[in-house]
Amino acid sequence: MDAADVEGDLVDILFTEAEIQAKLGEMARQIEVDYEGKDLLVVGVLRGAVMVMADLSRALTRHVEMDWMAVSSYGSGTKSSGVVRILKDLDTDISGRHVLIIDEIIDSGLTLSWLTSNLASRNPASVEIGTLLRKPEAMKTEMDVKYVGWDIPNEFVVGYGLDYQERYRNLRDIGTLSPHVYS
């Protein structure tokens, strides 16, 4: 879906599909350097990270193993509840593995902080985080994020996996959702 298909629902476009692909390529190059010679397991956080995970993985020029987790802390609202539930756990034993969690956005940071602690308790060699977007103003917890595409303002954004009530995920760009849609 193109931005023109939902033009009245967006305040503006923050990042185009081409800009997103270029940024993911940059992130992939750094990941390759950092994990040279290491057995890397990339863990996508469903559902939002599907687009990021797919395109980031394709940008890598090395073999990479993938697994998925589904966690929830949002419900149908626009703010994180802070209560995390595992809806789908990993299928892979991560003991001794280098794990890179990939998410599409870090908002409050509460969900990823919890998820990082949960995975660290499973005896991996390392656990790091990569995200396409981060909202520094919305962060409610300190956390080390190794790979960040862009820091953005604390606004409600959709597209490229980001949704509002399961809509807009298939938008090719990332844009700011107009308040009239969710008010």
Beta strands 147-151 and 157-158, pairing class: unpaired
C-alpha count within 13 angstroms, C-beta hemisphere, residue 90: 19
- HSE of 66 in the Cβ direction (CA atoms, 13 Å)? 17
Q: Which of 5, 107, 144, 163 is catalytic?
A: 107
Indicate the SS3 state at residue 165: coil
Residue 22 to residue 41: CA distance in whole angstroms:
22
Q: Is 163 a catalytic residue?
A: no
Give the separation between CA 47 and CA 157, rounded to whole angstroms.
Answer: 15
Residue 42 forms beta bridges with which residues?
66, 100
Task: Tell me the C-alpha distance between 113 and 79, whole Å.
Answer: 16
Residue with tokens 């193993």, as numbered in its chain:
65
DSSP 88: E
Amino acid at 35: Y
List residues with catalytic annotation: 107
